[in-house]
Amino acid sequence: MRSHRATLRIASIAGLAAALAAGCGNKGVEKGTDTKSGTRTVVVFAAASLTESFTALGRTFEASHPGVKVKFNFGGSSALAQQIDQGAPADVFAAASPATMKQVTDAGGASAPRVFARNRLEIAVPKGASGKVTSLRDLANPKTKVVLCAPQVPCGAAALKALKAAGLTVRPVSQEQDVKAALTKVRLNEADAALVYRTDVKAAAGQVRGIDFPEAAQAINDYPIAALTKAPQPGLAGEFVQSVLSPQGQATLQQAGFEKP
């Protein structure tokens, strides 16, 4: 029992570390082309919730485009949007909400974004949870420690929408800075429940349990993607967007828990 718990804990740290890298590590992005070696690089800014699926997509893209490298910068959508507005050398932007994409299109950074995936909320509970939480209504129980995303980030806005649709008032113990942080609190069993995306529950690979709830339909999140107007590699940018929209790309996304647009 004890050793089982320890393994869980270590796995949780590893997961958390990954989440941190995704959430806070908006590392500097390299230049589009490395002319010396002849390889070309396409730089994709993508929402943190796309970490797993886009990493897989990137590998497929590299396999079908010899000499091309895909570099990702995963992070909070609004932070990414700001970086793009500030002139970050990115080719593609995949956002977790239309609002953040609008930030970029309004500034003329991109045009004609297309929705490539939709994400739905689920209630995440610790794997060994006693069954205290079975529906959205249970989140309103003051004895239940609920973690939501902060209203400033897309998953938080979606959660508020869903709760409003259900007519529920939930007092969270914390409003986390991103969805991975919210999930981590459940993984570590510090919180009894969190509202996160279904894709995040899937990515946590059995370390948390997801509970579907009907009101989630009221807060479906659209994920738009666009090649950026100032892309250093405009050709590759368009091709990457196409690959995401292709049947093969869609299959990968659905495997990760996304829904068809």
**Helices 179-187 + 2-24 axis angle, to 10:** 170
Q: Please identify, using beta-carbon distances, which residue of 192 and 222 lies nearer to another protein.
A: 192
Q: Please identify, using beta-carbon distances, which residue of 33 and 174 lies nearer to another protein.
A: 174
Q: Please identify, using beta-carbon distances, which residue of 155 and 219 lies nearer to another protein.
A: 155
Angle 118-123-129 from CA coordinates, rounded to 5°: 150
- CA-CA distance, 181 to 73, in Å (whole number)? 18
Which residues on neighbouring strands pair with residue 119, listed in sequence order?
A: 221
How much helix, strand and coil, in percent to the nearest 5, is found in the chain? 45, 25, 30
CB 194 within 8 A of CB 146: yes
Query: What minimum distance in Å lies between the beta carbon of 127 and another protein?
Result: 12
Query: What minimum distance in Å lies between the beta carbon of 78 and another protein?
Result: 5
Q: Tell me how crowded residue 130 is: count the other CB atoms within 10 A of its CB.
A: 8
Query: What minimum distance in Å lies between the beta carbon of 113 and another protein?
Result: 19
Q: Please identify, using beta-carbon distances, which residue of 36 and 143 lies nearer to another protein.
A: 143
DSSP label at residue 127 = T
Q: Please identify, using beta-carbon distances, which residue of 20 and 160 lies nearer to another protein.
A: 20
Binding region for another protein (CB under 8 A)? 5, 9, 13, 16, 20, 24, 76, 78-79, 82, 145, 147, 150, 152-153, 172-177, 181, 185, 188-191
Query: What minimum distance in Å lies between the beta carbon of 57 and another protein?
Result: 26
Query: What minimum distance in Å lies between the beta carbon of 16 and another protein?
Result: 6
Query: Residue 4 burial by CB count (10 A; 0-12/13-18/19+): exposed, middle or buried?
Result: exposed
